Each structure stands twice: as structure tokens, then as C-alpha cells.
Amino acid sequence: MSPRKSRPRRAARSVSGAKTAGGVARRLAAAFLKEVEIQAGETLRTGSVESLHDLRVGARRLRMVLRLFRPMLRQPGARNAEAAVRRLCDRLGPARDADVWLEFLEEARGGQARRRGAAWQRVLRRAAARAARARAGVRAFLGSAEFRRTCRMADRVFRPAAGRFGRAARHDARREAGRLLLRAYERIPDIELPDHRLSAAELHEVRRRCRRSRYAAEFLWPLVGCDCRELERRLHAVTDALGEHHDMDVHLSMAARASGRPPRSLVEEMKKRRLAASEDLARAWRRLRRPGFAARVKRECRK
């Protein structure tokens, strides 16, 4: 399940009208903290897969705001808040992975008669039980004092108060947004193509860097310009393909470790999807790394 398409527009509305870098940071943090609190309440109330997904998306974006604007946060609580939000993301990750695995199995089985045998039923039962346990653990955490403390810590970091931000926070929003986005963009690995020549860990690191750059573009393009909006779209395609490839690697590893031999058709389906993700990645990466496009993005960030 991919993030809802309206999220970049929400981020764009959040920064519209901000005059300083500190104002941009506050608006983004407030928007994503509110999203976290709303989706946490919905997850506690319904336990739905969709609300858990949206909660994880909001938490990741809140963490990225803390990371992106880290250089201008001078109070000691900023690092503690970032660590607390990182722990929140770590707690949500396994539950979301379990839901993705179960969703994949149900979709892969479909209506095919040959995928209704005992082996498939066994894999599905175990996946459903694992997902239910993971969601129960998340709901217990969301009702805890630790979760409420995490939200308070993040809120205090960006609350308007004298001395909370360094000098950079008073810089012009457009200039500082371009500088932050350029720094994130230049951290994308300069490689010909992220393919089978890289290990799973190296591919995962490429994905992490591209995702951070994508979030920066998503947050800041309204201040920087339309080429950076296109950058967000191209990075989205890259991270989606890398995410699908990563999911298939994880699923294959889980199937190999599970007791009992996994259905052959399941293994074949995972390998087929991993190959398709590799092909999507190659196309998306070539579009992202076109020299003319890279030059336009850098020029726009430096205006």
C-alpha cells in the first residue's frame, strides 16, 4: 500500500506563507504531529491496516522534519525528541511489515485453484497470526505513557519560544529551503545503477538516502520551484521500486526461514515481482540521474 497521493499537497499547504526557515519547520512539524496523533487514535479505536499505515507515514515524516532541520535546533531536547520518534518508527515497522506480507500472500494466491492447497493455507494462517500479534503490540504501545511523552517532546521542540532556534532559523525561507534540499539531493549515491551488483544492505542504504531526499523535496518544493516538484515525483518512482525489491528480498528470506517448505508457486511469484521491481528501478533511476535534469535541480536550489 503506497502513501496517499494527497500528502505532498498537504505538505505544500503547510509551508505556504512561511517567511523564515524556522516558520517552515514549525508548520511541517505541527502538520505531521497532528497526523500522528489522529492516526494513533484511529488505530487504537479500529485497529485498521490503513490507519496503521498512515500512522507510520506520519511518524516517518515527523522524524524527517527533525532530521532535516537539526542544524538549526539548538535546545538539548531536540536530539532526545528525534531519538524518541525514531523509536516510535522502529515499533511501527514490524507491524506494517507483517501487514504487507499478509496482503502480498492474499493477493498472490488470488483465485487460482493450485494456490489453495495445504501449504498455502499454512503460510496464510501463520502470516495472519503474526500480523494480529504485531498490531496488538502497537495498540498497547499507543495507549502507553511512552507514546504520549514522545508526542510532547516533539511538540516542545518546535513550539515558538525565544532561543529555541539557532541563527539559521531566521534566514529567508526560500534560501534556506534551497540549501537544505540541495544538501539532501547531493547525498543520493552517485552510482550508474542500483542493481544486483549491490548487496541487499547496500540497496537498502540507497533506498534510505533517496527516501530522505524525496521527503525533503516533498516538504520544500513549493518554496524552491517546479523542477524540485518533478524531483519529488522521480524520487517517488525510485523509492517505490526499491521498496518493492526490498519487500521481495525480505519475503524470500522469511519463506526460507519458515518451518515447512514454502509453496513453489509462492517462491516463483516473489522472484517474478523482484525482477519486475528491478526493471522499474532501472527506468526510474535513469530518469532521476539524467544530467540535464540534475543541472536544473541544482540551479533551482541555488537561486
pLDDT in tens, 263-279: 888 888 899 999 999 99
Average pLDDT of the chain is: 85
So what's the pLDDT on residue 1?
A: 40
Q: For residues 137-160, give the mean pLDDT.
A: 91
Contact 254, 102 (CB under 8 A): no
> Average pLDDT for residues 222-230, to the nearest whole number?
89
Distance CA 196, CA 278 (A): 9
Distance CA 225, CA 302 (A): 11
Instruction: Name the pTM for this structure.
Output: 0.86
The pLDDT value given to residue 166: 54
Distance CA 32, CA 10 (A): 10
- List pLDDT tens digits, range 229-263: 999 999 999 999 999 998 898 888 877 776 677 88
pLDDT digits (tens, 9 = 90+) for 23-54: 888 889 889 999 999 999 999 999 899 999 99
Asked if the model's pLDDT at residue 213 lies above 90, the reply is yes
Q: How is residue 42 written as a grid cell? A: 484511529
Ordered domains of the chain (ranges, CATH): 20-158 (1.40.20.10), 193-303 (1.20.120)
Q: Is pLDDT of 290 > 80?
A: yes
Tell me the pLDDT band of 13, cut-offs 50, 70 and 90. Answer: low
Q: How confident is the model at residue 71 (pLDDT cuts 50, 70, 90)?
A: confident
pLDDT of residue 146: 96
Give the model confidence (pLDDT) of 77-131 as tens digits: 888 999 999 999 999 999 988 998 899 888 887 756 555 677 888 888 888 999 9
pLDDT at 119: 80
Higher pLDDT pick, 22 / 185: 185
